[in-house]
């Protein structure tokens, strides 16, 4: 009995932390914490679900942009390499565009290598074409001329029954504007654009060039004349001339665009030296039709640049220089009373002293 009392006393006097109090205090906290976690999970789940597609989209967008960036870069590099190989493949055409004569170009490339001579000869034997800027008479929309000859240095485009979406001629030198050049025999105008007048033969009536939108810009001419034109929108702006007469008359020309269903392929050419450039409607009582006609940066000399017998939705004549250096009394830039418009923009056209264009170096 004595031993039992001693043991109980020892147990009660020992420094043993009995956890009953802790458990009583801890349990409500843990239960509250657990409940809060459960409630947070319940309330946060819709937000997480709603945000997950947006987060997924942004991650996908990063990958998409990275892939498209690489594709765009590769396409750009591919186009550059393709163009590089085309230039290396056809040095003969490149030298012709630079103004060298065919004989000089062949000699320059072919010196010292029979392989190169073969390549040049093969290219030089290619048939002439409008796209290559070869002189000749072309029946639009055919890219090959119906007539060409070594002594024929006119770029002539005859328009027939097939409408053309786009014709673009740019960066050329015409007439007597380059050394050792001359106008064709019997011709007095380096540039002629438009239809054809009535002739004695009743089979050939007057024709017009119908154009949706025509741009004449950055021409250098001795004289520039516009006659027998109907334009819904006539824009004459920023032209400088050694004397000018702008006498267009208001009327009711309709707006127009050239359709025609399965239209012909576009026709482009750039660079070259020609005795004359002529774009005319056919002589078979059919008006020529071009939806977009761009004639840009023509350096001419030796006579008048003429726009005649044209029916246009919009006709722009902008940033041209015209003159012979003979004073303002003579009107080198003329828009005749036979030019009729529905809407007319006439801005910043100035009379200044402009001498005749000096001749430049031509093909060697």
Can you tell me the mean pLDDT for 338-350? 98
Lowest-pLDDT choice from 48-52, 229-233, 239-243: 48-52
Residue 113: per-residue pLDDT: 46
Residue 160: per-residue pLDDT: 82
Residue 118: per-residue pLDDT: 47
Can you tell me the mean pLDDT for 162-174? 93
Largest CA distance in the chain: 157
Residue 60: per-residue pLDDT: 74
Confidence of residue 238 (pLDDT cuts 50, 70, 90): very high
DSSP alpha helices (H): ranges in the chain? 2-13, 20-89, 91-97, 102-110, 114-124
The CA–CA distances, whole Å, from 129 to 32, 146, 155, 156, 282 equal 90, 10, 11, 12, 20
Tokens of 97: 């565009």
Q: Report the Cα 15 to chain-centroid distance in Å.
A: 97
> Does 262 or 257 have the greater pLDDT score?
257
> Does 146 or 26 have the greater pLDDT score?
146
* Ranges 69-78, 113-122, 342-351, most confident: 342-351
Lowest-pLDDT choice from 5-14, 16-25, 152-161: 16-25
In this predicted structure, the answer to whether residue 142 has a pLDDT above a threshold of 70 is yes
Residues 6+ apart with CB under 8 A from 254: 232, 342
The residues pairing with 278 across neighbouring beta strands, listed in sequence order, are 156, 192
What's the distance, Cα to Cα, between the start and end of the chain in Å? 138
In this predicted structure, the answer to whether residue 279 has a pLDDT above a threshold of 70 is yes
Tokens of 64: 């998409």
Is the bond preceding residue 33 a cis peptide, omega within 30 degrees? no
* Ranges 79-88, 158-167, 218-227, most confident: 218-227
Q: What is the mean pLDDT of the chain?
A: 81
- Tell me the C-alpha distance between 191 and 155, whole Å: 10
Residue 264: DSSP 8-state: B
DSSP string, 101-170: -HHHHHHHHHTT-HHHHHHHHHHHTSPP-TTTT--EEEEET-SS-SB--TT--EEEEEE-SS-EEEEEEE
User: Is the pTM above the cut of 0.85?
Assistant: no
Residue 171: per-residue pLDDT: 95
In the chain, where are the structural domains located? 69-126, 132-351
In this predicted structure, the answer to whether residue 329 has a pLDDT above a threshold of 80 is yes
In this predicted structure, the answer to whether residue 331 has a pLDDT above a threshold of 80 is yes
- Of 146, 142, 159, 129, nearest to 258 (Cα)? 159
Q: State what percent of residues in the chain have pLDDT above 70.
A: 69
Residue 18: per-residue pLDDT: 45
Q: What size, in residues, is the chain?
A: 364
- Tell me the C-alpha distance between 13 and 322, whole Å: 123
The residues pairing with 167 across neighbouring beta strands, listed in sequence order, are 267, 293
- Of 218, 222, 254, nearest to 238 (Cα)? 218
Residue 125: per-residue pLDDT: 55
Confidence of residue 322 (pLDDT cuts 50, 70, 90): very high
At 55-100, the pLDDT tens digits run 767 777 777 788 877 777 877 777 777 666 655 555 656 666 566 6
Residue 71: per-residue pLDDT: 77
- Tell me the C-alpha distance between 130 and 269, whole Å: 6
């Amino acid at each position: 009995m004595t031993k039992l009392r001693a043991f109980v006393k020892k147990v009660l006097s020992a420094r043993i932390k009995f956890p009953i109090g802790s458990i009583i205090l801890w349990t409500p906290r843990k239960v509250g914490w657990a409940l809060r976690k459960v409630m947070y999970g319940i309330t946060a789940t819709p937000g997480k679900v709603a945000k997950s597609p947006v987060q997924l989209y942004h991650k996908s967008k990063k990958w998409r942009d990275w892939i498209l960036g690489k594709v765009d870069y590769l396409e750009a590099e591919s186009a550059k390499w393709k163009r590089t190989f085309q230039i290396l493949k056809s040095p003969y055409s490149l030298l012709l565009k630079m103004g060298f004569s065919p004989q000089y170009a062949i000699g320059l490339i072919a010196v010292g290598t029979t392989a190169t001579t073969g390549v040049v000869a093969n290219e030089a034997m290619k048939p002439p074409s409008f796209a290559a800027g070869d002189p000749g008479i072309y029946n639009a929309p055919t890219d090959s001329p119906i007539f060409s000859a070594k002594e024929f240095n006119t770029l002539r485009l005859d328009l027939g029954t097939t409408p053309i979406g786009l014709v673009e001629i740019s960066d050329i030198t015409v007439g007597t504007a380059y050394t050792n050049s001359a106008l064709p025999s019997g011709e007095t105008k380096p540039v002629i654009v438009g239809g054809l007048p009535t002739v004695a033969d009743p089979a050939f009536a007057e024709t017009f060039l119908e154009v949706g939108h025509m741009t004449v810009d950055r021409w250098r001419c001795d004289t520039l004349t516009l006659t027998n034109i109907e334009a819904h929108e006539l824009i004459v702006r920023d032209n400088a001339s050694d004397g000018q007469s702008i006498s267009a008359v208001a009327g009711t020309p309709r707006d127009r665009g050239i359709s025609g269903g399965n239209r012909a392929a576009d026709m482009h050419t750039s660079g070259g030296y020609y005795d004359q450039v002529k774009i005319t409607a056919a002589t078979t009582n059919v008006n020529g039709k071009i939806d977009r006609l761009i004639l840009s940066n023509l350096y001419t000399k030796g006579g008048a640049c003429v726009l005649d017998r044209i029916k246009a939705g919009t006709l722009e004549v902008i940033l041209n220089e015209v003159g012979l250096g003979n004073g303002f009394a003579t009107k080198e830039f003329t828009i005749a009373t036979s030019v009729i418009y529905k809407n007319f923009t006439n801005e910043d056209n100035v009379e200044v002293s402009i001498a005749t264009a000096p001749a430049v170096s031509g093909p060697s």
